Each structure stands twice: as structure tokens, then as C-alpha cells.
Structure 1
């Protein structure tokens, strides 16, 4: 059985606990306990979360676990030296070491990240780079895997990272079934950006949200104002006005952002020719996509692929 230990400490972020559901579902779907999930802390006993409730923990075992994950916490500060030493000792004996959000500061301070690539929540990236300038931080990644060390971004990324761990351990089919059981409509890989074009648009009404969801699922299709207005059940003129009021962008600009985001993901995670990427994301031809990339990122798709 694979033992997973989540290390918590006072004021840990409660959402860190959600990744445990992934391993729990793995056991349920397999009908056999593949994972043993443990909550651990430096001394064991009750530990207070950032939301004011306590959890019961076991004492952190310096002999290590199969996987040890350091949780995040709200304030960017560091636990005491004794906990850092315990984390370092356990990490040295564990098969896989991970952190979530600000937990990366603990791994870095303990010396676990020497010579490794890592990520953290974009909000804390400047503080991390200032404190640990010698560690290569990939601040726009959802999670980063470098050897046996895994580091994740914000709290929801913990579920994505845990799904990737299960996929690594037990295969893609099980990870997909877990995502379905947890009603996760889109599995995100480590290469995904922390910032989503849909999140940035942040529409208020159901009509505009539905239209954007339709657009994301149909990037190859005709996404003219007339088509989107029909999805929203508004006239083209009404739709354009409402869309701009809610998002601050024209429909055409928003659709380009969605297509650029999808194309960037394909460029970074596949070896498809640029022409195929342009076709699959709705740009139609490579020149239109090239111009959109220059507007969004200041570089061409070819340059982005060479740098990835």
C-alpha cells in the first residue's frame, strides 16, 4: 500500500485537505486500498486550520512515507527550525516529495529544492524569487514535476496534482474515473497556466457564461457575433452590448483570448505542426495565429515552442 502523508501546521489552508479525496476515490473505485492517507504534523495531536477548526494528526515520521506533501498556509512565513528538520528527514526517506501553494517555501528552506524547478501560487512568486533566487521558479505552471519532487500552485491545483500522481502510479483510466466521480469537467496538466482566460473575463449573467462555455468547447467552429448571440438567445446588437458591459471586451477579442490560451497549451504540450494547432483552435491559418500570439505574448508560436 502506498502511504501519502499531508503535513499540516497551525493556520494551514483547509482547502489543502481536498486532495485527500483523490486518493480516497482511488481506493473506492479499485475496491482495494491502494493508498493510505495520513494527516501528520510535527508533534501530532490537534492542529488548527486557517478557518478555525482543528484536525487530528499523527506525529511526522522522520523515516518517511511513499509520498509526503507539505500543505499551504495563508501567511508567507516559515515554521520553526525543528519542523524544517523533520520535513527534510522525511523527504530524504520518501519516494515522492511535494508541496502545495506556500508549502514550497518550507521545501526550499529545508533544502529539498536545491537544483530543482518549482512553482507556487502566482501571488507569492515575487516573494519566493526574492528569498530563493537560486531556485528556478516556473511561476505560471499549475504544478511542476522535477524528479521525485512535485510542487503545486494555488489550493485547487492540489486536486490536479493528486490526479496526476494517481495517473503516474496506477494509470490514466483510473485518474479519468476519479475525475468523473469528483465531477471535474476538465483535467488540467502541470503545463496549464494558473490564470485562465475565462476567469479573467468573469461574466456575471448565466447567458454570457453559457456563451463562453460554448465557445471554449467549439473553438474550431464559427464563433461570430451572430452565432454567439443565438446561443445567448439575444439579438446580435443586444448580445454585443451585454457582453461588453459584463466583460469589458468585445466578443471578438474574448474569443481570440480563448483561442490563444488553447493554442499556447497545444504548442507547449504537443509536437503538432503549427498549421494543425491553428486549425484545431479555430484560427484557420498560421498567420492569423502568429499575429494573435504577437499581440498576446510578444513572440511567435515558433519561438514559444523553441523555448518550451
Structure 2
């Protein structure tokens, strides 16, 4: 971020931002907006596989790496490289309306993708924090069982309070959300790669019925279990 071209880009971005010009960035380019100070107080996204580095470098920013595009005022941020297409559709929606944006999407064969979550690779998402990474492995080994924050904290030899603070600092979510994310990622993998029913998948990742899993898939992935196959 200290290279001459990056510094020059930051100066230009600050000038445009001061004039309320619409600014959009995706993937690693979101780091440049953050370094320029444009994202303070805004909700943002970036590519899911750089989320840990982004959160470590800019701990005060509100990052949601699950979302494909985040619009906050005149700033738009987007996820991984090909989310530039989603960013383009968001800009078109702002400029000429949703009907034209949808028409462009159809002509270009672009599916609307509200979330990056279904594309995340579980092994890459493991935290750089040793204790949190250990907790993630423990969750993965006990997915079919009831998992409590108390049991998880005990597995990494920490108090619940200390463990909760560590998880929040490392990956920006609570231990409950971490458990939920690991279950959802395995469920997505099983749905996409096996012929198991949604009820069977739900049981294998620790849900007593499929209703909760269906709701989480709809909420976090923006689709249905059938849409994953």
C-alpha cells in the first residue's frame, strides 16, 4: 500500500470521495479504499479468502465477507475477482434501474449471486490464530454431535469469555456463528457432491431436522438446497 502507484491512487480516491463521486472496488482493490480512509463507518465486503488479512489490517471496519456486493452510500464494495460482474450490475441498477440491469444479466448469462458463502473453501478459511484453528478442527470432527460454546472452549483450554473474545478478534464472529458456519460449509459440500437427502445432510452436520438447515442456506447462500445441486 506504500508503493507510489498505490499512494497516488489513494490521493485520487480521496479527492473523488470528497466530491461524492460513486466509487466501486472488488477483491483486493477494497484494501486500497480502506487504506485511503474511505471506508470508515461503512459496511464493506471483500474477497472471502483475504477476509482474515483485511480484518487484521483494518479491525475497526465492518466487514461481511459472505456478501457479494455491499452498497453503502456512494461506495460499493464487492467480493472475489469475478464479482466485478455483480458490481457492474449493482452500478447499472443505481444508474438506470433494476429492469435494465436484469436485462443485461440475461444477455450476458450472469446469475444474480447475493452471497460468496457457497464458494468458500473450508480449508482456506482456517484462522491464522492457533487456538481458533484448533477449535475449527474440533468442530469439524464433531459436526454430527451437539456442540456448545462451553465444550468448544474446554477443547482449547480456555474460559468461555476468553475464547469468545479471541474468536471475535480473529474472525469477526461469535463462537456460535463459527459453529454455524462450519456446519453450513460441510452441508453445502455434501449437497453439492453427494446424493444424500437434505434430511440426511442435516443429521450429518448436527441438525435434528432439515428446517433449520434450509433456513440457513436460504439466508446465507441466497438459494435453496435444490439450487445447490
Distance 1:122 1:267 in 2: 17
CA deviation string 1:244-290 (max 9, x = no partner): 9x93x4522598589978633644799xxxxxx9xx878xxxxxxxx
Q: Assess if the C-alpha contact under 8 Å between 1:263 and 1:281 holds in 2.
A: no
**1:8-157 matches, cutoff 5 A:** 79-157=5-83
**Are 2:27 and 2:47, in contact at CA under 8 Å, matched by a contact in 1?**
yes
1:175-190, aligned counterparts within 5 Å?
A: 175-184=101-110, 186-189=111-114
Q: Identify if the C-alpha distance between structure 1 residues 80 and 171 changes in structure 2 by more than 3 Å, giving closer, same or farther.
A: closer
| Greater than 3 Å deviation, 4+ residue runs | 76-80, 253-270
Q: CA RMSD in A?
A: 3.7
In the TM superposition, what is the alpha-carbon distance from 1:145 to its structure 2 partner? 1.2
Q: Which one has the largest radius of gyration? A: 1
CA pair 261-123 structure 1, distance change in 2 beyond 3 A: farther
Query: What corresponds to 1:251 in structure 2?
Result: 196
The 1:111/1:188 distance shift into structure 2, 3 A limit, reads same
| Matches of 2:12 and 2:113, distance apart in 1 | 32
Aligned residue for 2:183? none
Is the partner of 2:216 in helix, strand or coil? Answer: helix
1:264 has 2:209 as partner: no
Of Structure 1 and Structure 2, which has the larger fraction of its residues in helix?
Answer: 2
Q: Match for residue 193 of structure 1?
A: 116
Segments of 5+ residues of structure 2 without an aligned counterpart are 123-189, 203-209
Under a length normalisation based on structure 2, what TM-score does the superposition of the two structures give?
Answer: 0.54
Q: How far has the Cα of 1:117 moved from its partner?
A: 1.0
1:171 counterpart (97, 100, 121): 97
Alpha carbons 2:117, 2:220 under 8 Å: kept: no
Between the two proteins, the alignment pairs up a number of residues equal to 150
Q: Give the direction of change, closer, same or farther, for the CA distance of 1:259–1:129 in structure 2 (3 Å limit).
A: same
CA contact (8 A) 2:79 2:116 kept: no
Contact 2:217–2:225 (CA under 8 A) maintained in structure 1: no
Q: Deviations over 1:150-179 (max 9, x none)?
A: 100001111112112212221222112101
Gaps of 5+ in 1: 1-75, 201-243, 271-276, 283-308
Q: Distance between the aligned counterparts of 1:195 and 1:259, measured in 2?
A: 19
Whose relative contact order is higher, 1 or 2, with alpha carbons under 8 Å and at least 6 apart? 2
